[in-house]
Amino acid sequence: MPAPRLRPSSRLRSLILELLPVDSRACQNHSYVLAVALACSALHGPDSADAAVLRVPEDYPSIQDGIDASRVGDEILVGPGVYLENVEMASGRWLHSSMGPLQTIIDGRAMGSVISCVNLGGTTIIEGFTLRNGRAELGGGLHVFGSSIEFRGNIVTANTNTGVAYGAGVYTQECPATNLIEGNLIFENNGNIGGGVCCNGDDRSRIVGNTIWGNTANYASGIISYNYSDILVERNIIANNDGGTGMWTHSNSNTTILCNDIWANTPENYHGPD
């Protein structure tokens, strides 16, 4: 029996209506599309003649079971529902939902990162989920270390950090420039350093076309490029983040900032480099 269809919360529905569409202040010829619209559009992953499709929950009861049973090049297709688990991704898989992030929720139960990607390569894609209720020192929602993935069309919300920690929503470290965080809605996460996104430790990630909204942190409530990182931040909306600067470049890091809307962050929109 298929999992029940879910209705998004009234808070999320109102946020979607508030932000879609949004006209760019930074680039008048570019129209932003909220991440949810991208996530609910047709999804396309890697093509492989030998790829198998593993269906959750029809064939495997949990997302992790589907990943563990898969091989490089396989597709893990997840039906609508709430999945109470902490997922460890594997290289070269396409993990995606059939009904988009409003209908497909991974709840981390405050027991670690919702999804962890450690030392992954190949064509590794994650798309079409809500990641919520993660709690970890590094990346409450998504933790990416030394990996090249495509994380796109997801909602990352209501995640937190523990202790002196980094990246309540999304955390990347020592990733190459092929690591892509694109077209996601990252909102209302609460952490210490990097409420929305933290790129740390010689990181080269690309942060492109996301809406980073309403996050809170002690330092850098929107995005921080930290500790010898050199990241690309392009065509994002970074707004209404509180408790730290919207965009902070810190500790011998460099940030290429292109065509973003960065506004209404408190106490300031930009800080650094320092």
The separation between the first and the last C-alpha atoms of the chain, rounded to the nearest angstrom, is 55
| Rounded distance between C-alpha atoms, residue 3 and residue 131, angstroms | 18
Mean pLDDT of the chain: 87
**Peptide bond between residue 46 and the one before it cis (omega within 30 degrees of 0):** no
HEC per residue, 137-153 = EECCCEEEECCCCEEEC
pLDDT of residue 12: 57
**Per-residue pLDDT tens digits for 87-96:** 999 999 999 9
Domain ranges of the chain: 10-271
Stretch 42-65: mean pLDDT: 83
pLDDT of residue 232: 96
**Per-residue pLDDT tens digits for 208-231:** 999 999 999 999 999 999 889 999
pLDDT class for 18, splitting at 50, 70, 90?
Answer: low
Task: Determine which of 23-27, 45-49, 160-164, 175-179 has the lowest per-residue pLDDT on average.
Answer: 23-27
The percentage of the chain sitting over the pLDDT mark of 90, rounded to a whole number, equals: 74
Nearest to 169 by CA among 112, 226, 131: 131
Stretch 108-117: mean pLDDT: 98
pLDDT of residue 47: 58
pLDDT class for 50, splitting at 50, 70, 90?
Answer: confident
User: In sequence order, what are the residues at sequence separation of 6 or more whose Cβ sits closer than 8 angstroms to the Cβ of residue 87?
Assistant: 63, 64, 67, 106, 114, 115, 116
**pLDDT over threshold 50, residue 52:** yes
pLDDT of residue 24: 39
Cα angle at 237 between 106 and 176, to 5 degrees?
Answer: 65
